Copies of this chain bind each other. A is one copy, B any other.
Amino acid sequence: MNIGQVSDASGLPAKTIRYYEDIELVRPARGANGYRDFSERDVHKLAFLARARSLGFSIEECRTLLSLYEDRDRASADVKQVATEHLDRIARKIEELEAMRGSLQTLVTRCHGDDRPDCPILDDLAGEKTATA
């Protein structure tokens, strides 16, 4: 299977697939013409990676998950730990973004947004005390 078809099948851009080969997440065979020749197994791996990436796992986590996936003697606890840590990171990130959203929302609401220069958003950024009312 050529890279273009694999790209279609896995949803990953060809460039990304080459990159994944580069960092040794996948090791496709090569045809006589030098083209990559992907097996079903390779395609399956790439789909696995695409899904894991879409859930936000880092490349290194993907590597770990993939090796656990291929290890018949794995303990599900190991998988769960990777996922749980990632879940915590996501939760922290959401909190961080919600804090930003809160502050920004307040400022945006207070800014009348017309052609005059006075602006609570800039006042806040400049560290000026802003009226709470």
Binding site for B on A (CB under 8 A): 44, 47-48, 51-52, 54-56, 65, 68-69, 71-77, 79-81, 83-84, 86-87, 90-91, 93-94, 97-98, 100-101, 103-105, 107-108, 111-119, 121-122, 124-127
Contacts and interface: CB of A to CB of B under 8 A. Distances in A.
A51 B107 CA distance: 13
Contacts of A116: 75-76
A contacts with B: majority SS: helix
Copies in the complex: 2
A76 to B, nearest CB: 4
Contacts of A47: 126-127
B87 A105 contact: yes
30 contacts: A44-B127, A47-B127, A48-B127, A51-B127, A52-B125, A55-B100, A55-B125, A56-B100, A68-B122, A69-B125, A75-B115, A75-B116, A76-B114, A76-B117, A76-B121, A76-B122, A79-B111, A79-B119, A79-B121, A79-B122, A80-B113, A83-B111, A83-B121, A84-B108, A86-B104, A87-B101, A87-B104, A87-B105, A94-B94, A94-B101
